[in-house]
Every structure is written in structure tokens, then in C-alpha cells.
């Protein structure tokens, strides 16, 4: 790591005349570039799960808890060897809106990829799988795809976002909606661009419902999902 650039008076992202104009840190809610357009961010490095009411775990006797690991980790452990299990944020707060940017990035580690074990992670409509966008490793595959579901109609947007997945190997993927196109990344490298995506309740590329981060696994043995961090953010008018 090189020598850091030093902003001894701080760094502002808003005009001097605004309430936080002389605040020495970036305004966490506003920018001055587009009046009325703010940024909402959910992020966690899993050093503290906070109140348990902020997330929901499905699957009989399944758990989601912090675990030891450099930088903070959390692990989803199914309650049985074939128990489909998931963890999702209890309250939905993200939404694709045409012309407004949205970011999603996650680093995650499966304990197994061989055989019929399947897992996915991304953004979904609360507990429902009818709507959302997620990275998925299907059963009998070692590749990760990006799938979008709108009103229960699922479409594979990108096949092979990452290939050659291994047990215990880290997966670091992301997507970015720039207001017009959807850009997909693996290990910080652009792997696909879906141009002119449409947003709506049916017959579109992306859903328009409120979404929340989630992870899910269908195990075949004592398979687990360990997550390192997640960030989901979007521009919003308020």
C-alpha cells in the first residue's frame, strides 16, 4: 500500500452553502451533482449482525451467525443435510428505477459445489422468489450465472459469470445499473453488459418491486455458505 493522499481539512460532496457544507466528511445521504437525487446504501462487513429482527432465516433449524475469520464473516448453516435454507433482510428498501443508478457487490464462499448442491445470492422480493436478480450456481454445475425474475418469469441474463467454482473458493461478483444498462463483474473485471434493460411488472428485463439482499443454499450434505461482505446502494429521489 502506498502513501495516502492527505485531505487535512476533510472531503465534501456537497456545496458550501448546504447544511453539511463544512462537515469534514462526505454527506452520507446527498450529493450536489443532481439536486433532489440522493444515495441510499446498505452495507455490512459482518463484524456485527446487529438486531436479529433485521434479517430472517428460513429452513427448519437453520442458522445465520457470525463466525471467526479475518475481516468479519457470517455463515448460513442449513438445519439438515437436505434443508433448503436462506437468509434475507427482513425489510425491502431497494428498487430498480429507470435513469437512477443501483450497485450490488458481494463476496461469498460455498463449502461445496459438486453434485446437486445449489446456491444463489443477490436481491429478491422479500421471502418471495417471484421477483429479483441473483447470481446462481445450479445443481450439477460449477459455473455461476446471473438470473433475473419478473413476475415468476426467470431469464438468464449472463451465463458463466464465473466458471470453475471450487469448494471453499471465494466468489467476488457485482452488478451495476447505470440508469440505462446493466454491467456485470467478476473479481472487479467487467464480464458482460446488458444494454437498454427494461423495468416493470411483466415482460421486462428487471422487476420494479422493492428488493432486499439475500443468500440461499440447497445442500446435499453439511454444505454451508459463508459471506464476507455485501453492499447494495441506489440513487433515490427524496
pLDDT for residue 174 is more than 90 = yes
The percent of residues above 70 in pLDDT, for the chain, comes to: 100
Complete DSSP assignment for the chain: --PPP--TT---SS-TTSTTTT-SS--SSB-SSSTTEEEEEEEE-SS----GGGEEEESTT-EEEEE--TT-EEEEE-SSTT--EEEEESS--B---TTS-EEEEEEEEES--STT-EEEEEEEETTEEEEEEEEEE-TT---EEEEEEETTEEEEEEEEEE-S--TT--EEEEEEE-SS-EEEEETTEEEEEE-S--EESSSSSEE-S-BEEEEEEE-SSS--EEEEEEEEEEEEE-
Phi, psi (5° rounding) for residue 103? -125, 145
The reported pTM is: 0.94
Question: CB neighbours of 98 closer than 8 A, spacing ≥ 6?
Answer: 179, 180, 199
Phi, psi (5° rounding) for residue 96? -75, 125
Q: How many CB atoms lie within 10 A of CB 238?
A: 8
Domains of the chain as residue ranges with CATH: 1-33 (no CATH), 39-237 (2.60.120.200)
Place of cell 444498462: 181
CA atoms lying within 13 Å on the CB side of residue 17: 1
Q: How far apart are CA 193 and CA 184, in angstroms?
A: 6
* pLDDT for residue 197: 98
* pLDDT for residue 52: 75
Average pLDDT of span 49-60: 89
Q: How far apart are CA 234 and CA 22, in angstroms?
A: 25
- Tell which residue, 225, 122, 115, has the closest CA to residue 168: 225
87-121 pLDDT tens trace: 999 999 999 999 999 999 999 999 999 999 999 99
178-233 pLDDT tens trace: 999 999 999 999 999 999 999 999 999 999 999 999 999 999 999 999 999 999 99
CA atoms lying within 13 Å on the CB side of residue 30: 13
Place of cell 455461476: 144
Q: How far apart are CA 168 and CA 110, in angstroms?
A: 6
12-25 pLDDT tens trace: 888 888 888 899 99
Q: Judge whether 171 and 162 are in contact, CB under 8 Å.
A: yes
Amino acid at each position: 500500500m502506498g502513501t495516502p493522499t492527505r485531505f487535512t481539512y476533510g472531503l465534501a460532496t456537497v456545496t458550501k452553502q448546504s447544511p453539511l457544507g463544512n462537515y469534514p466528511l462526505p454527506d452520507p445521504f446527498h450529493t450536489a451533482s443532481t439536486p433532489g437525487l440522493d444515495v441510499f446504501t446498505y452495507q455490512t462487513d459482518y463484524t456485527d449482525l446487529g438486531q436479529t429482527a433485521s434479517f430472517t432465516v428460513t429452513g427448519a433449524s437453520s442458522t445465520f451467525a457470525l463466525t471467526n475469520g479475518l475481516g468479519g464473516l457470517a455463515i448460513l448453516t442449513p438445519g439438515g443435510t437436505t434443508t433448503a435454507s436462506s437468509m434475507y433482510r427482513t425489510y425491502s428498501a431497494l428498487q430498480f428505477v429507470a435513469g437512477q443508478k443501483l450497485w450490488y457487490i458481494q463476496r461469498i464462499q460455498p463449502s461445496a459445489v459438486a453434485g446437486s448442491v445449489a446456491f444463489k445470492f443477490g436481491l429478491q422480493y422479500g421471502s418471495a422468489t417471484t421477483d429479483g436478480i441473483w447470481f446462481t450456481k445450479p445443481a450439477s454445475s460449477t459455473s455461476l450465472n446471473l438470473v433475473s425474475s419478473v413476475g415468476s418469469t426467470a431469464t438468464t441474463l449472463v451465463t458463466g459469470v464465473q466458471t470453475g467454482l471450487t469448494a471453499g473458493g471465494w466468489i467476488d461478483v457485482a452488478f451495476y445499473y447505470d440508469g440505462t444498462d446493466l454491467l456485470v463483474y467478476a473479481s472487479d473485471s467487467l464480464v458482460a453488459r446488458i444494454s437498454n434493460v427494461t423495468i416493470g411488472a411483466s415482460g421486462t428485463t428487471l422487476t420494479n418491486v422493492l428488493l432486499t439482499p439475500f443468500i440461499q443454499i440447497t445442500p446435499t450434505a453439511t454444505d454451508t455458505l459463508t459471506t464476507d461482505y455485501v453492499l447494495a446502494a441506489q440513487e433515490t429521489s427524496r
